[in-house]
Every structure is written in structure tokens, then in C-alpha cells.
């Protein structure tokens, strides 16, 4: 018997064939699995923590079972927040948006005005009819032409995360009550590289505008008036801009790099012990708990400092929406109703760990909200919270201004290029008016 001798080339060939077979085998299975047509598509935007996200998946599957859907009839796609805009633009273009997804205020306005969403008034009415009703302050933003395009699913209140120990070391019992006092205290707290105020000032929507508006509103300034017309130009706003300029350029209580922060900038600064104050949703506090941070016990949640007009935090609402292209709108509406059933919703809110305040005020009686001392401050901040867009509401023009960070850009011009605060306010207002005119909205 002759014995075949395998060359390196032969072994290489066998290796290639084996690798190709190994790669192809699971691939064929995958291919087969995708030859399906889901009856219900839910875009899950991960938000809180794995447990809360898993709970949503479990509740969606439970709903599918109740409706007699098979495993392939329900499709849950996990879409990270940063990908939503791009993915949704493409999905709407090809006429295949999800049936249900969560929408923030900006997305809700954009999709609602463009006519992509279904009226969910019946769902909201059902929610209103439950014991204690719902927080109706969340509804005006979702209403367009008498229809409601989003069922409110949670209130994200911003709270001032405060390192009480640092202010105590500087001789203060807690967070000073006015911005002027805050600046004085912060001068003592700031010892570079440690700064008092982790003010988000980057050109990204959300945190930066929230920080700016928390100062502006304390002095009585607004972005828009009750008739949704630009209203930034006011003495109050100029005073607030001057104060921000003082904090950054004169008192130097804000890190210099804050101008380039994204939405995670103030989180990182606070979590790593570089700042003593940051205005943010409770994602910072939740991370301190999860990381067993040494700063956790020294951190309190509070309302931001105030001014002559009051002491306000900011808050926003998230919604569940159904798309008009949904082939089974009743099924899609039913999923939202299932999520918002008080027993299901209560579990979700608790698992979300304080990320959202419940839309049903009655659920604030849950022992969860007294389980941590800091939540008292959060609830206080929530009670004093107002929308960045108060007393008006978000419109397509304002949405563009927010998404393009036009107001914060003028704040940056003031801080970096030395533009006079009054000029910066005037220019920001002028830019707003231009956008409003271009989009045909009242000025």
C-alpha cells in the first residue's frame, strides 16, 4: 500500500475547504431564518439598564403570545439612540418604519408634522381614565391639529447632581439657592483640575441647551412665547448670558474643555470626580450606584440654583408612537396599551431605576421612590421642572434650532470669541426668526 504524502499546499487547501464549510454552515441557517414577514416590528431603543430593556422584551413577547402571534411574527430590533435618526430616515424613505418605537420630543414633532404617525388619542384616553390619571403636562407637546401622536411613557426630569461634600468643605450647607451665590461658592470649590460646574456647552442638542436654559429661565427668559414665536430676545436672557460668561471667563468655575463635550461629557466629569455640579437626567446617579462610586454617598439630587423668576429644573417627556405605515395598527396600538398597563408599567419604571418619573402620578407612592434619600431631591426637581420650550411647545422650526444647537452656538461665540452677551442674544434671536420665517411659522 502506498502512503500519500501531503504537501503544505494540500494541507492549505484542506484548511481552506474546512474554513469555508465552517463559515457557510451557520450562514445557511441564518439565511433561512430571515425569510419571514413580521406582523409587528418594535424598535427598542436601549435606555436604562439591561434589566429594564429585558423587561420590555419580555412584555412585548408576552403581548405577542396573548395575541396568538408566533415567534417570527414579532420582531424586536435594538436600535441604539445614536442610530435612530439615520435608521429612521432610511426606513421612512423605503416606506418600512417600525410599527412602534419610543420617540423623544424632537422626534415626535418631526415625525408627527411630516405625517408619519397615527393618532393615539384612544390609548391616551384609556390612560387618563386610570386611577389618578396621568401627568397631563406631557400632552400638549404630543398634540398636533387636535390629534395626539404619542402616548407619554415617562418623564425624564433633570436633576442637579451635587457633590455636597465639596460645598460643605467650602463652608456651605448645600447647593446655594441663587446663581450669584452659586458663583461665589464655586470660586471656593474650584481648585483646578477640579471645577465646580460641569456645564455642558458643546454643540450637541439636549444637555447643553438644558444647562443654558436652566440659567435663562431663572431670570425669566424663554426660547419662545405661549404663541410659539421666538422670544429669546429679552433683558432676562441677556442677564443670564452675562452670568454664563462670568462663570466661564471670569470666575473660571467651568472646565475649559466643556465647550467640546458631547452629551456624555458632564456624566464623565461628574462620575470621575472632576466637577461638583452637573445638571442631567439620573443616568449619572444610576451609574454611581452601579459602579459603587466613592462619590455616591456625597452626591445629592437637587433643583438648580434660581434667580428672580424662580428656581427651575428642566424636564422632557418620551412617548410611544405608532407609524401610519404599520400594516397592523390595532396590533401596534395594543402593544403600547400592554406596556402602559399600570402593573406592567410600574415594574418597568422601577427597573429603570429612576431614569423616568412615572406618567401615572399615583405610582409615585411606590416604596421605590422613598428607597433612596436622593430621590426626594429628584422629585422636588421634577415638581419645579419646566420644559425648555415653555410656555410654548416644540414646532418644526424650534426642532431645527435645537438640533442644530443654534442658541448654544451663540453662547460659544460669547465665551470664546468674546462676543458681547447682548449681541449674542440678539444674534441667536435673529437666527431663530430666520428659521421660523423659512419654515413659515409665526414670528
Partner 1 sequence: MAMSQQTSTRLTRGVGAVALVVLIVWTVAPLYWMVVTSLKVNSEIYGEQVTLWPLKPTLDNYRVLFEETNFLIYFRNSVIVAVVTTMLSLVCAALGAYALTRLNFPGRRFFARALVYTYLMPSSLLFIPLLIIIRGVGLQNTLEGLVFSYLGFTVPFCTWLLMGYFMSIPIELEESAMVDGCGRLGVLFRIVIPLTVPALAVVAFFSFTLAWNEFIYASVLVSDLSVRTIPTGIPNFIVEDVFFWGPMMASTLISAVPPLVVYFLFQRFLITGLTLGAVKG
List residues near partner 1 by CB under 8 A. 23, 26-27, 30-31, 33-34, 46-48, 50, 75, 77-83, 86-87, 89-90, 93-94, 96, 206-207, 262-264, 266-268, 271-274, 280-281, 283, 286-287, 290-294
Shortest approach of partner 1 to residue 262 CB, angstroms?
8
Q: Is the peptide bond before 219 cis (omega within 30 degrees of 0)?
A: no
Question: Phi and psi at residue 380, in whole multiples of 5°?
Answer: -65, -45
Complex with partner 1: residue 281 or 392, whichever CB lies closer: 281
How far is 214 from 387, CA to CA, in rounded Å?
10
CB closer to partner 1, 146 vs 294: 294
| For partner 1, the closer CB: 61 or 177 | 61
Angle 206-375-138 from CA coordinates, rounded to 5°:
50
Closer residue to partner 1 in complex, CB, 93/131: 93
CA distance 262 to 43: 24
Closest contact distance (angstroms) between CB of 390 and partner 1 is 23
- Residue 322's nearest CA partner among 154, 119, 104 is 119
Question: What does each C-alpha distance from 96 to 15, 173, 196, 347, 376 come to in angstroms?
Answer: 42, 55, 47, 31, 43
Q: Nearer Cβ to partner 1, position 271 or 363?
A: 271
Number of other residues whose CB lies within 10 A of the CB of residue 308: 10
* Closest CB to partner 1 among residues 136, 291: 291
**Parallel/antiparallel/unpaired status of strands 40-44 and 74-78:** parallel
List the beta strands (DSSP E) in 240-358.
275-280, 299-302, 313-322
Task: Tell me the closest approach of the beta carbon of residue 311 to partner 1, in angstroms.
Answer: 24
Least distance to partner 1, CB of residue 30, Å:
6
* Smallest distance, partner 1 to C-beta of residue 74, A: 12
Amino acid at each position: 500500500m502506498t502512503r500519500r504524502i501531503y504537501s503544505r499546499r494540500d494541507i492549505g487547501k484542506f484548511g481552506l475547504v474546512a474554513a469555508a464549510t465552517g463559515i457557510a454552515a451557520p450562514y445557511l441557517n441564518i439565511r433561512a431564518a430571515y425569510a419571514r414577514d413580521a406582523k409587528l416590528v418594535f424598535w427598542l431603543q436601549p435606555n436604562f439598564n439591561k434589566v429594564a430593556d429585558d423587561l420590555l422584551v419580555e412584555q412585548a413577547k408576552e403581548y405577542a403570545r396573548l395575541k396568538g402571534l408566533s415567534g417570527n411574527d414579532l420582531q424586536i430590533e435594538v436600535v441604539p439612540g445614536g442610530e435612530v435618526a439615520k435608521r429612521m430616515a432610511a426606513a421612512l424613505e423605503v416606506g418600512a418604519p417600525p410599527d412602534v418605537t419610543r420617540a423623544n420630543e424632537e422626534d415626535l414633532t418631526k415625525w408627527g408634522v411630516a405625517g408619519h404617525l397615527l393618532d393615539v388619542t384612544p390609548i391616551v384616553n384609556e390612560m387618563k381614565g386610570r386611577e389618578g390619571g396621568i401627568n397631563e403636562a406631557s400632552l400638549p407637546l404630543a398634540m398636533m391639529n387636535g390629534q395626539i401622536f404619542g402616548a407619554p411613557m415617562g418623564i425624564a426630569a433633570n436633576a442637579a447632581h451635587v457633590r455636597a461634600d465639596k460645598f460643605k468643605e467650602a463652608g456651605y450647607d448645600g447647593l446655594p439657592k441663587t446663581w450669584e451665590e452659586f458663583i461665589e461658592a464655586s470660586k471656593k470649590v474650584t481648585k483646578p483640575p477640579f471645577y465646580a460646574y460641569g456645564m455642558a456647552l458643546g454643540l450637541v442638542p439636549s444637555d447643553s441647551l438644558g444647562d443654558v436654559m436652566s440659567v435663562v429661565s431663572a431670570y425669566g427668559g424663554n426660547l419662545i412665547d405661549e404663541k410659539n414665536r421666538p422670544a429669546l430676545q429679552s433683558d432676562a436672557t441677556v442677564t443670564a448670558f452675562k452670568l454664563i460668561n462670568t462663570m466661564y471667563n471670569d470666575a473660571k468655575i467651568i472646565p475649559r474643555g466643556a465647550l467640546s463635550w458631547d452629551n456624555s461629557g458632564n456624566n464623565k466629569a461628574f462620575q470621575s470626580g472632576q466637577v461638583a455640579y452637573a445638571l442631567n437626567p439620573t443616568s449619572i446617579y444610576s451609574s454611581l450606584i452601579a459602579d459603587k462610586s466613592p462619590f455616591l454617598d456625597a452626591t445629592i439630587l437637587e433643583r438648580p440654583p434660581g434667580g428672580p423668576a424662580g428656581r427651575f429644573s428642566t424636564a422632557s417627556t418620551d412617548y410611544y408612537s405608532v407609524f401610519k405605515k404599520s400594516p397592523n395598527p390595532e396590533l401596534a396600538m395594543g402593544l403600547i396599551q400592554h406596556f402602559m398597563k399600570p402593573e406592567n408599567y410600574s415594574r418597568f419604571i422601577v427597573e429603570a431605576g429612576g431614569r423616568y418619573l412615572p406618567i401615572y402620578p399615583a405610582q409615585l407612592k411606590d416604596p421605590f421612590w422613598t428607597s433612596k434619600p436622593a430621590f426626594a431631591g429628584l422629585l422636588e426637581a421634577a415638581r419645579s421642572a419646566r420644559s425648555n420650550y415653555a410656555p410654548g411647545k416644540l414646532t418644526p422650526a424650534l426642532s431645527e434650532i435645537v438640533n442644530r444647537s443654534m442658541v448654544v452656538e451663540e453662547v460659544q461665540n460669547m465665551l470664546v470669541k468674546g462676543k458681547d452677551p447682548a449681541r449674542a442674544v440678539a444674534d441667536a434671536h435673529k437666527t431663530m426668526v430666520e428659521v421660523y420665517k423659512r419654515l413659515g411659522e409665526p414670528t
